[in-house]
Structures are given as C-alpha cells and as structure tokens.
Structure 1
Amino acid sequence: MATLHRPVRSETEPQSDQTDSTSTDGTSTDRAARLAVTVFPVLVLVAGALGLLLPDTFADYKTDVPYLLGVVMFCMGLTMSLGDFKGVAQRPWAVGIGLVAHYVIMPGLGWLIANVLDLSPQLAAGVILVGCAPSGTASNVVTYLARGDVALSVSVATVSTVLAPLVTPPLTLLLAGEYLPVDAGSMVTDILKTVLLPVLAGLAVRLLFGRYVDRVLSVLPWLSAATVAVIVAVVVAGSAAAIKSAALVVLLAVVLHNGLGLALGYGAGKAARLGKPASRAMAFEVGMQNSGLAASLATAHFSPLAALPAAVFSVWHNVSGAVVAAWMSHRSKAEPAD
C-alpha cells in the first residue's frame, strides 16, 4: 500500500534548486518521509503477522477499512498543493505518457499473470484490482531517493488518483469480470468516497490553514504508515485460514507484477525519450500501486481473500522500491547528465 507521502516543502521552508530531481538532503519533512519508507515494510510485516496470529482480534474491523483508507488519503491531500496540478499543464506529454503507461501496463500485467499462474477467481480478481489502482503516493518518495524527476512523479500520481473513479472500475470490470461479478457503478461511488473526497478535503485544509498544516507535515508519513498497517492486519486476518495454501503463489504473482511494472515503466520513459530522471520516475509511477485502495475495494466488493494480493503488494513494492531506488541513485552519480 503505497501510502506514504511525497517529499514536500512547507510554505515556511526555503525553496531548493534541486527539489525537482536530484537532491537527497531535503528538509525535516523529507527526512521523515524517507525514514518512514525504510521502516514501513517492517511495520507492515509485523501487522500482517499479528493479523495471522490473532485473526479474531482484527477480522471484525473489515467494514472499517474504507474509513481507514479515507484517513490515509486525507493525509495525502494535506501534502498536496496547487503546484502539483500546474505541473500537468507545464508537461502534458510526459504526464500523459505516465498515465497511459500506468493504466495500460499494470492492469494488463495483472490479467496476464492471473492467467499464466492459473490463479483462483478470488486471487485473480485481487491481482487485477491491484493493477487497476492508481499510483501509490510512496512512489514520489522513492523517486526522490532514486534521484528521479520528482515533479513528474507527483503530477502523474496526482492525476492518476483524481482519474481513479473514472478508470479503475471499468478496467476492473473489463479484466476481472470473467472471474467474478463486478459492480462498477458501486465501485465508482466507493472510490469517490474513500479517495477523491478525502484528498480534496485534505487539499482544501492545506490551502486554508497551510501555516498550521506545515507544523504537522513530518508526522503525516507515520500516521499513514500506522493506518496502513492496521488495514493490512485486518485484511490478513480476514483470509488467515487460506494464507498457508495461497501465500507462495500470491508472493510470486506480486513479485512478477511489481518487477515487470518497474522495468516496463522505465522502458516506457526511455522509449518516449523523456530522459533518465523522468524514466526513473516512470518506473516507480508504473510499478508502485495504491494497494490500500485495492485492498479496500477487494474487501468490499469481493472477499478478504481477494484483498490478500494487495496486502502482500504493500510490503513487497516498498522493499523492492527502496532497493531499486538505491541502485538507481548510485548509478546516476556516475552517469552523464541528459
């Protein structure tokens, strides 16, 4: 569940010429986000273990998952600014390539992997739903660590989230409908309530009370991480009985989905001649998903078992993202500028 937040500068902090792509020093808020990304996989693993060992403690809270996701998305809105939307107007070609790559590559990979691995209907729908979700907000932080084009990453993540009510349900219906019944209309309503409205509310609060929001920016990644950990515990608890038999095939599906997404996302950036920093951003915008949304939708529309791929994805893509970002950052220091 890529739900940690972008490197974001408070309105009282000085601007940096390196914010766009190359700086890895950053502000206290940036450092908090980077630390949260590092600790997040461990936190989620612990939460998953608790859900597996104490299923009765968490399983009854499955109806609260949409509200928990709303908290995470509200926190995302608090980190946003109007500048995120201005970036779209300034670079429509690059943002458009990122959106098309994200909403073509990941859903297609999800469908392909579900068929190749011959997954059960519940797991197949879950993997496809992960692929149809918008970009995860942690992709912005990981792009930052990779010395990628953060401005492009933020723009693609922002627009993919705003478009999710229009794109995620029909894609899920098209690709997962052969496995399970999909109520696309109800899914649109759920995404509006749990994603778009909380994000817009958070943005409104930031615009109206920016001075006060700036004081808590460094806390937001941790609040999001803790909330997502609870979501993972609930999801795992709901499918605890089936995890022993399904864990390995789900892990394989997630590793393939994420790894191929990272590689093809980078390749899309290179093919479009966007440059190396932008291609690094594209890798994470394609390969990292808002698996929190996928888990919430799977739980509400399918079953807890269908939410299991999202829970596993939430751990794996943060681990792989941090590793790939470190490798890209190391390589970028030896590469000539584009």
Structure 2
Amino acid sequence: MILFGMWLTLTTEDFKRIAKRPIPVVLGTVAHYVIMPGLAWLLCMIFHLKGATAAGVILVGSCPSGTSSSVMAFLSGGDVALDVSIETLSTLLAPLMIPTLLSFLAGQYVSVPAQSLFLSTLRIVVVPIILGVLVHSIFGKKIDAIIKIMPLISQAAILLIVGAVVSANHANIFTAATALVIPVVMLHNLCGYALGFGFSKILGLEEPQQKAITFEVGMQDSSLGATFAMKYFVPQAAIPSTIFSIWHNISGSILSSWWKNHSKNSH
C-alpha cells in the first residue's frame, strides 16, 4: 500500500526522463548504494555494534532512496526531476541490491535469507511500481482525486509500521544498547548528506542537482527496512529503521529550509 500509493503518480514520462539523461541518474544511484551501506558497516565497526542491532543498521543502509527525499529536494529548490529519477532507479534495483549488500556486509552478524529477501523485495517494491504505472496509464485523470490522497494514506501506513515496531520493542526501546543506536543513525544520515554533497561537487553539477543527490544519498526507505527487519530478523533489528524514519525527516526539513534560505541570500 505504501509504495503503490507513492508510485501511483509515476508515469512513463518518468522512465523516459531517466533515458534522456542517464549519467547523473546512474551516478547518483551508484553513490547511494555505495555510500550508505558502506557507512552503515563502518559505523557498526566504530561503535562495536553486534547481532541484530548491527544487521538493522546495515539493512536500513542497504535500502533504496526514501520517498521523502523528493519533498526535501522540492522544498530546498533542488532538481526534483533528477531526484525522482534516482529514486525510481534505486527502487527498481532494490531486489538485487538489498540481499546482495546484506549478505556481504551483515552476514557476519546474522543469517541472511537472500533468496527470500529477493522475492519479497520483488513483491513489495517492484510489483507496486508496475501496478502504479499501469493504473495511471489506463485511468489517467480519472483517478486524480485518489492520487491526491494516496500520499496521506501511505504516510499513515508508515506511522502504523513505526507504531508496530515500537510496540514490539517497548521492553528494549530505552536500553543502553538502543540508546547507542540513536547517534549511529544520526551520523549515518548526516554523513550520507555530506558525502552525497561532496560527490556531486566533485562531479561539477549545478546547485539544484547537488541538492537532489544530497537528499537521495542521505535519505532511506526506512519503512521498507523496518518491514524486512520484522519479517526476517528479530524485532530489535527494526529499531535502526524506526529511528531513521523519524530522524531523516527532521534533518531533511532543517537542511532543506537552510539550503533554500542560503540560496536566496547568495543571489
């Protein structure tokens, strides 16, 4: 429901846009799948995280770009078209990337059901995208009213997932181990922004494109991470995704507001 609602607005034009300028889209997607999983693994090493907690951090780092990133790109004056294109490509690659990255980076902490993850990601991620595009193509403007409310329904579903994770972890949510996850998640997100921005600067992209890649790298589809953590691991593994889901919206809002004001003042 979450992804179907978000991708119901997707049209064939979005895929044509990827084909028209593939280089920044591909580079942004590569940056996302290199920087965020790598950061997750490095932070687990630095903070000596173990077991399900470490697997949960790496899981959220291996997820595709978060749907909130396009909102933050818009609010900051970024290139929304590039943002959506990277988000689309990273999501389409998720069935391959999530099980591969988890097996490689988190296999030392937990047993990773790679095949089950692959099939689940196809069903949960790719099928809703295909259905969303088909429904939009068939019904067009007839479903405009539904499209307007679907993001709200999707956000409500995300809140339900977060609530379920918190409920399942109420006994562990304020433990010392969980408290350590909070700075790890914050650093993961903030370093993702910094490295995404640095990467876009190295590429020599314009400021709107820099903003898009910054948010696309630093923001994750954490609701997907929480869903997989609850399904394939123990509830504790979902805590990093839950914290990430809350924190990246706070940090993204602050960064987008600062960036918009900074851009205005610089001209």
Q: When you count helix as a share of all residues, which structure comes out higher?
A: 2
Aligned to 1:288: 219
- For 1:46-85, list aligned pairs within 5 A: 71-85=1-15
3-state secondary structure, aligned to 2:98: helix
Q: Specify the alignment match of 1:247 in structure 2.
A: 178
1:277 to 2:208 alignment? yes
What is the deviation of 1:142? 0.7
In the other structure, the counterpart of 1:200 is: 130
Give the TM-score normalised by the residue count of structure 1.
0.77
8 A Cα contact 1:75 1:199, kept in partner: no
Q: Distance in 2 between matches of 1:139 and 1:275?
A: 18
Match of 1:120 in 2: 50
1:324 shift after superposition: 0.2
Match of 1:187 among 117, 139, 148: 117
Question: Pick from 41, 57, 66: which aligns with 1:136?
Answer: 66
Identify the residue that residue 195 of structure 2 maps to in structure 1: 264
C-alpha contact (below 8 Å) 1:236/1:304 kept by paired residues: no
Deviations 1:53-82 (A, max 9, x none): xxxxxxxxxxxxxxxxxx001102211111
Match of 1:210 in 2: 140
Q: Does 1:304 align with 2:240?
A: no
Q: CA deviation at 1:137?
A: 1.1
Counterpart-to-counterpart distance in 2, 1:236 and 1:190: 23
- Residue 332 of structure 1: CA displacement? 1.3
**Cα distance, 1:264 vs. partner?**
0.7
Aligned match of 2:83? 153
Backbone CA RMSD of aligned residues:
1.0
Figure out how many residues of one structure are paired with residues of the other and give that number.
Answer: 266
The alpha-carbon deviation at position 239 of structure 1 amounts to 1.5
Identify the residue that residue 246 of structure 2 maps to in structure 1. 315
Look up the match of 1:46. Answer: none
Summarize deviations over 1:8-39 as a string: whole Å, max 9, x none.
xxxxxxxxxxxxxxxxxxxxxxxxxxxxxxxx
After TM superposition, what 4+ stretches of structure 1 lie above 2 angstroms from structure 2? none
Cα distance in 1, alignment partners of residues 128 and 19 from structure 2: 24
Q: Does 1:327 align with 2:258?
A: yes
Question: Are the aligned partners of 1:78 and 1:213 in contact in 2 as well (CA < 8 Å)?
Answer: no
One-letter amino acid matched to 1:144: F
The offset of 1:248, in angstroms, is 1.7
Letter in 1 for 2:126: L
Displacement, 1:257? 0.4
Identical counterparts, % of pairs? 45
Partners in 2 of 1:236 and 1:152 — Cα distance?
Answer: 34
Q: 1:290-323: CA deviations, max 9, x gaps?
A: 0011111111111110011001100000010000
Kindly state the Cα deviation for residue 334 of structure 1 after the two structures are TM-superposed: 2.9
Structure 1: state its 5+ residue gaps: 1-70
The 2-side partners of 1:139 and 1:190 are apart by 24
Equivalent-residue separation in structure 1 for 2:190 and 2:220 (angstroms): 12
* 8 Å contact kept, 2:5–2:147: no
Q: Distance in 2 between matches of 1:82 and 1:110?
A: 34
For structure 2, the residue ranges without an aligned partner over 5 or more in a row are none
Q: Secondary structure at the match of 1:240?
A: coil
1:247 Cα deviation after fit: 3.3
TM-score of the pair, normalised by structure 2:
0.97
Structure 2: how far apart are the matches of 1:203 and 1:73? 12
Give the Cα–Cα distance (whole angstroms) in 2 for the partners of residues 197 and 289 of structure 1: 19
